[in-house]
Chains A and B, each alone.
Chain A
């Protein structure tokens, strides 16, 4: 399986969440031996799980998922001011094999 046009979890965290001040947290998943990334609200509540659970922070998230995530976040009061279209278009997409 080849993940074309993907970003890694660490890219999403370091290049997008941190840069655009999107709050997040990483926790141990309850129902898998893996980690779980959440987008949090400004008051630190977990509002949206991000992608699948993961074991490797360098593993890929497909482009379609990121587009869907941005669509959702653009409806949240805390993040609707962010230029998600521009952010999406500037992502350095990578292919994973």
Chain B
């Protein structure tokens, strides 16, 4: 049984000719019955895990960088959107997103839900970014359900 921990998004910017030269990618964090933390990128349905949420996120960003690099190398970069995550994950992402309101400074402004509260993650591991010449991958914002609330 999945327990969703929160959501986040990051950006990719390409200096090479692509159908989508810049886009955001979306992540959903969960804790599963085995006690591990999982991070899933919805655009490519990439899943990684870690002992902590921060570790799962850091592993996912490395995975994204590897995934992009490999697809550039083997000239399949325009196919990377062919395998998006199941719509149930997108629904869950949107459900969590609807519970938070973000002002123009990208700060959590209000809570719409009295049960679940959200915190902005400031852990440096969440700010990991890759820049390997043709592509920049960076985490932008992460909102976690504050389990202590």
Contact = CB atoms under 8 A, between A and B. Distances in A.
Interface of A is mostly: mixed
A14 interface: no
Nearest to A72: B45
Interface size class of B (residues with CB under 8 A): 20 to 34
A2 to B, nearest CB: 8
Contacts, number: 59
Given A30-B69, A45-B74, A72-B83, A65 B62 contact: no
B130 A31 contact: yes
A72 to B, nearest CB: 7
Given A45-B74, A53-B59, 17 more contacts: A3-B34, A4-B34, A5-B34, A30-B65, A30-B132, A38-B70, A45-B76, A49-B67, A52-B59, A53-B62, A62-B32, A62-B36, A64-B33, A64-B36, A64-B38, A64-B49, A65-B49
Interface of A: 1-5, 29-32, 36, 38, 45-46, 49, 51-53, 62-65, 68, 72, 75
Interface of B: 32-36, 38, 45-51, 59, 62-63, 65-67, 69-70, 74, 76, 83, 130, 132
